[in-house]
Amino acid sequence: MKRLAVLISGRGSNLDALLSAIQRHGWPIAVVAVISNRPNAPGLEIARAKGIATEVLDHTQFQNRKAFDAALAQKLETQSPDLVVLAGFMRLLTAEFCARFRNRLVNIHPSLLPAFKGLETHQQALDAGVRVHGCTVHLVTAELDHGPILAQAIVPVHPDDTAEVLAARVLKMEHEIYPTAIAAWLSGQLMIQDDRIINRGEGAFPTEFRSCRLHPDLA
């Protein structure tokens, strides 16, 4: 059984999609902890409702980023996670933390990286006038929204889109690609070579993994 720890800050829809996918597919993956840096994150309720252990590590109670990350790392290590999943965890992580969990830390970012790093990615996409947008699952390095890419999903941008409408279109695809990318990584189907992800085509358990997903309107 592979052990996952999930870090959240808010809504938790990716956490919900992950828990549902693990159950639906019967993957040998256990979410051993959900940790939020915000005490009122709605995602905590999602985890509790599914019987997952939750913890709060309130960043406002720490003197600085380094102290918070050290406490977080310590808490995580007690769970011996095979992978730490960032699911809407809205904090920058120190280089020390990223190094400690090197190749054991994964994130989903709501853009087609390397385009539109940082916040408000959907508005960035609209402002740039791009015709396609999407989301990216990647291993986390010390550099913001950077690191070897496991999977991407592409959605169309329509002329009358608002940031909210576009965000909803992307989020639906996030919920599809994040769980399968995580399962593929944990099953050994994916490996890292020269800072890039190689798909070996088979792993210890089936994942229906596709490294590039198209929104149905583009297929």
Q: Which residues bind ligand GRF (CB under 6 A)?
A: 10-14, 43, 87-88, 108-110, 135, 171, 174
Between the two ends of the chain, the Cα-to-Cα distance in Å is 35
23 or 74: CB nearest ligand GRF? 23
For residue 35, with 0-12 CB atoms within 10 Å meaning exposed, 13-18 middle and 19 or more buried, which class applies? Answer: buried
For residue 133, with 0-12 CB atoms within 10 Å meaning exposed, 13-18 middle and 19 or more buried, which class applies? Answer: buried
121 or 207: CB nearest ligand GRF? 121
Cβ–Cβ < 8 Å for 106, 185: yes
**Nearest approach, Cβ of 65 to ligand GRF (angstroms)?**
18
Give the active site residue among 59, 109, 138, 175. 109
Locate the DSSP E strands across 80-148. 83-86, 105-109, 132-139
**Nearest approach, Cβ of 193 to ligand GRF (angstroms)?**
26
Q: How far is CA 3 from the centre of its chain?
A: 15
**Nearest approach, Cβ of 122 to ligand GRF (angstroms)?**
9
Q: Is 25 a catalytic residue?
A: no
**Nearest approach, Cβ of 40 to ligand GRF (angstroms)?**
13
47 or 197: CB nearest ligand GRF? 47
Q: Which two structure tokens, joined as six digits, stand for 153?
A: 């999903």
120 or 208: CB nearest ligand GRF? 120
Task: Please identify which residue in the block is written with the tokens 């740039």.
Answer: 128
Q: What are phi and psi of 49, to 5 degrees?
A: -60, -25
Give catalytic residues, as residue numbers: 109
